[in-house]
Copies of this chain bind each other. A is one copy, B any other.
Amino acid sequence: MFSKTCEYAIRAIIFIAQKSENGVNVGIKEIFKGINAPESFIAKILQELSRKGLIQSVKGPNGGFFLDEESKKNTLADIVKTIDGDKLFTGCALGLKNCSEIEPCPLHDEFKVIRQQMHNMLRNSTVAEFNTELAQGLKHLKR
């Protein structure tokens, strides 16, 4: 579905959104433990997310990652598009380049509905909307 990189990215950003809510930066160590991801791999991913503007960072003591007001408004669809592209939202289930209404693959009609639902779900979820449920332990990001 999503690449591993994208799975970790989504989990990391939701984690940062919740942990930095009070204005405190979140370090890599806290993040990789909090979402149970390989430390140096998540470091690389955070670097990319920062470069692409999906998260913000500061170096040095008390440094770490956080989300500015704009980044808090991002949706999960924004993350997926940035990391995996929009193949998931527009591509053919059977990998055909020309698959469309006028040249459909056998699954096209049914698949496009599901693809659309997936897109809607991710477009309608902001990265910060899970903060309270996470804090209450009703939703989880590791294991």
Contact = CB atoms under 8 A, between A and B. Distances in A.
Contacts of A95: 2, 4, 7-8, 11
B139 A125 contact: no
Contact of A130 (B8, B93, B106, B139): B106
Contacts of A14: 106
A110 interface: yes
Contact of A117 (B91, B117, B141, B143): B117
A24 to B, nearest CB: 21
Contacts of A108: 139
A94 B121 CA distance: 14
Contact of A2 (B93, B138, B139, B142): B93
A13 B99 CA distance: 18
Interface in A41-95: 76, 88, 91, 93-95
Contacts of A121: 107, 110-111, 114
